[in-house]
Structure 1
Amino acid sequence: MAKAKREATEKIKLVDVIIELVDARIPESSRNPVISEIIGQKPTILVLNKADLADSQATQAWLNYYKSQGQRAVAIDAQHNKGIRGLQQEIQDVMQPYFQKQQEKGIKERPIRLMILGIPNSGKSTLINRFVGKNQAQTGNKPGVTKAQRWLKIGKSFELLDTPGILWPKFEDPEVGKKLAVTGAIKDSLLHMDDLALYLLEHLKANEAETLKNRYRLSEADLENLSTVDLLLKITQQMGLRDDYDQASERIIHDFRSHRLGSATLDTPYEAL
């Protein structure tokens, strides 16, 4: 991660616009403060990816908040190629004043140079492939797929510098770490899945109770009367796993990541706090 930060810092002078890619389910928790340091004053578009997995009302609330703070922000679903044209138009809008001045000087317009920065597993490689129109970047549903930097041409309008994901070395807030873990930004092998499942169940009980009931054949009484630990035990039994709580926990996390538990946003929009 230190190497990735150093390389990004060195190359940032070469680009016009930064795309800061975050997970729409945790738009604030997936904003790496190290990336903010790298970006500095460079024009930036905050892109909330995986919007299909997030609560649409919460996503809109986050977009409204960021724009009220003077931060350009758009929501996309790179996996299903939704919102990409809107993002490209936003990039063009950012650069329009610069190109207008260049045109007045008689300087021909050139491709816009982009850099995508974000934490691991935020969908950078998928977004790049949607931009380019063919598989130029490795993709995978696990952190750390992109290993090095390289320039990619996107038609005649853009040139894009691909970079590895940058995860911060220490979380000041344990809640942020849990959210990153639940959404897959941290390798599962480093985690206790039962702790994550309990954290997720607590959120779902409060915000997605109906989905939780339907998915795991629970009753209203189960949600009202059982503690989160007992709820995990009940779901384990409903899965036919007897007392294999670890496997049940893995299934619950997988269900969340694969959208089987509906659209959910773990970060509460500021305007709702």
Structure 2
Amino acid sequence: MNIQWYPGHMTKTRRMIAEQLRNVDAVCEILDARIPVSSRNPDVDQLTAGKPRLVVLNRVDQADPEATKRWAAHFRSKGYAVLESNAKGGAGTAKFAAAVRELLADKLRAYAEKGQAGRVVRVMILGIPNVGKSTLINKVAGRKTARTEDRPGVTRSKQWVPIDKGLELLDTPGILWPKFEDQSVGLNLAYTGAVKDDILDVETLGCHLMAYLGERYPDALTAGYKLPSLPQREDGENDIAYGYRLLEAAGRKRGFLISGGEVDTERMAKILLDEFRGGKLGRFTLELPEQGEEAV
């Protein structure tokens, strides 16, 4: 699968990030805690080389807690500061300013020694579309300063947001990369809503997600859809075929039937994606550090 999703404004955004780097003291990269590899733009390391980095693992309320601990330790081992947050609910956001000042402690001491103790610290906020950048900024600022919507591609221009007398944030538009050559990356971004649903057939997407959850989190499916048990995966059965049978089982249990008693699997797929994104099925992490070392 080779998903193409690179609106023209993303080329402009990439150029703006490069131009603004000289105006900031640090970079904050916001990742989706459920997909820390897939939600990292591989261009960011090159674009922001040399700048101190704070990694925010957002949506930890929807991620597997044990996996989040492993990811936090992984990023700290690479020299990044790490903050775990649920920007929508506010958890962790009160610690943001302190995390930035701890990250920049040496620089702030140097400013103080030069008689510049009140100098404003500026941080660039980066992340892919719909990862929660604007929501985080609004929570940290304690007021609505950045536009938010639960769909990708809402922030379209940069804006400086003062947090307090000593801290300003630069909100930037979400930036993806020109294409997803790894199928799992494209699927993970689609599951979580980082790319628009019309990029992929919803039913196919639902089959892939069902197959993954059926293999890794079967108890969540049986509990969420009140199934006595899951259909067993047959030898050699691919993800789409197995996922389709799981969609049928869940849809039948929900009563999503059409003429002839067949299951409306497209409707079930849409429900699955909505419930996955809303955290109604449980807390899932789709990637682990040891699976994607080269990507992080």
Q: Which amino acid is the alignment partner of residue 202 of structure 2? A: M
Secondary structure of the 2:96 match is helix
Separation in 2 of the partners of 1:244 and 1:154?
A: 49
Q: Which aligned pairs between 1:1-273 and structure 2 lie closer than 5 A? A: 1-220=10-229, 222-224=230-232, 227-242=242-257, 243-270=263-290
Separation in 2 of the partners of 1:112 and 1:106?
A: 15
Aligned residues: 272
Q: Which amino acid is the alignment partner of residue 91 of structure 1? A: V
Q: Which amino acid is the alignment partner of residue 96 of structure 1? A: A
What's the CA shift for 1:271? 7.9
Secondary structure of the 1:217 match is coil
Separation in 2 of the partners of 1:178 and 1:30?
A: 11
Q: Which amino acid is the alignment partner of residue 53 of structure 1? A: Q
Separation in 2 of the partners of 1:6 and 1:116?
A: 15
Q: Which amino acid is the alignment partner of residue 40 of structure 2? A: R
For residues 89-136 of structure 1, the C-alpha deviation after alignment (integer angstroms, 9 at most, x for no partner) is 121012211121222222233121011000000000100101111111
Separation in 1 of the partners of 2:110 and 2:59?
A: 36
What's the CA shift for 1:75? 1.2
Q: Kindly tell me: are residues 58 and 261 of structure 1, through their superposed partners in 2, closer, same or farther at Cα, counting changes over 3 Å? A: same
What's the CA shift for 1:146? 0.5
Q: Which amino acid is the alignment partner of residue 87 of structure 2? A: A
Q: Could you tell me whether the CA contact under 8 Å between 1:24 and 1:49 is conserved in 2?
A: yes
What's the CA shift for 1:2? 0.5
What's the CA shift for 1:37? 2.0
Secondary structure of the 1:161 match is strand
In structure 1, runs of 5+ residues without a counterpart are none
What's the CA shift for 1:225? 5.5
For residues 207-239 of structure 1, the C-alpha deviation after alignment (integer angstroms, 9 at most, x for no partner) is 22122112112122x343673321111222222
Secondary structure of the 2:88 match is helix
Q: Could you tell me whether the CA contact under 8 Å between 1:99 and 1:109 is conserved in 2?
A: no
Q: Kindly tell me: are residues 271 and 238 of structure 1, through their superposed partners in 2, closer, same or farther at Cα, counting changes over 3 Å? A: closer
TM-score by length of 1: 0.95
Q: Could you tell me whether the CA contact under 8 Å between 1:35 and 1:118 is conserved in 2?
A: no
For residues 184-207 of structure 1, the C-alpha deviation after alignment (integer angstroms, 9 at most, x for no partner) is 000012221112111211221122
What's the CA shift for 1:67? 1.3
Counterpart of 2:239? none
Q: Could you tell me whether the CA contact under 8 Å between 1:150 and 1:162 is conserved in 2?
A: yes
Separation in 1 of the partners of 2:291 and 2:153?
A: 33
Secondary structure of the 2:206 match is helix
Q: Could you tell me whether the CA contact under 8 Å between 1:126 and 1:137 is conserved in 2?
A: yes
Q: Kindly tell me: are residues 43 and 225 of structure 1, through their superposed partners in 2, closer, same or farther at Cα, counting changes over 3 Å? A: closer
Separation in 1 of the partners of 2:100 and 2:135?
A: 18
In structure 2, runs of 5+ residues without a counterpart are 1-9, 235-241, 258-262
What's the CA shift for 1:272? 10
Separation in 1 of the partners of 2:38 and 2:137?
A: 23
